Amino acid sequence: MTDLNEIIDVLGTIAFAISGVLAALKKRLDFFGILIIAAVTSVGGGTLRDVLIGKTPVTWMLNISFVYLILATVVLAVIFRKQLKYLRRSLFLFDTIGIALYTVTGVEIGLRVGLNPAICVAVGTMTACFGGVLRDILCTEIPIIFRKEIYASACIIGGLVYVILDYYRVYPEFIAIISGFTVILIRTAAVIFEIKLPNIYGKEDKK
């Protein structure tokens, strides 16, 4: 499944880089600021994952192609930013694709190094969400994962689907596709139908 993992890593990097560019453009940052936000969004989750499993130097430091990929994506996204804005909810779109792809790689790598399946789900969720958390913090936004949005929950369910299918020895490519689409479908359905996590503060605190 190595080739598929490389493809997923590339697509996830591109998707998260674009989401970082879009978030930075909303804040009207200069090009250097846009590049930093895009890079942090792209490699933040994978960096945390590699550190947690003891893989150092982390992946993007060992493969300079990821640096070039992020730079190229940023340049193209900035050039074609007007076209990207025509995509309805473009930030949501690329962010959702990113978390789906990174959930799959995170869980798969956790299983590969022999971690408990429950820990693999956690690793996949952190891989998917941490870059977005850093992006939102640097853009002075409350991270989506800390709101009532169905975000990390979608990653957890997608990760569970992955470990269950892996347990039953389903073909690896099918596992990746099914798990990734599970994340995308849950996240998309939650936004379309306005499904949110329960409000613990009561009606009087709703805004």
Picking from 202, 160, 198, the residue whose alpha carbon sits closest to that of residue 182 is 160
Question: What is the span of the domain harbouring residue 190?
Answer: 2-197
Instruction: Report yes or no on 203 lying in a domain.
Output: no
Instruction: Report yes or no on 50 lying in a domain.
Output: yes
Instruction: Report yes or no on 204 lying in a domain.
Output: no
Overall domain count for the chain = 1
Q: Which residues, including other chains, have CB under 8 Å from residue 32's CB and lie 6 or more apart?
A: none
Higher-confidence position of 148 and 114: 114
Read off the pLDDT of residues 34-63 as tens digits, 9 standing for 90 and up.
999 999 999 999 999 999 999 999 999 999
Instruction: Report yes or no on 188 lying in a domain.
Output: yes
Instruction: Report yes or no on 191 lying in a domain.
Output: yes
> What percentage of the chain has pLDDT greater than the value 70?
94
- pLDDT score, position 205: 53
Instruction: Report yes or no on 32 lying in a domain.
Output: yes
Instruction: Report yes or no on 170 lying in a domain.
Output: yes
Instruction: Report yes or no on 68 lying in a domain.
Output: yes
Cα dist from 181 to 116, 157, 175, 177, whole Å:
23, 11, 10, 6
In this prediction, residues 101-123 reach a mean pLDDT of 97
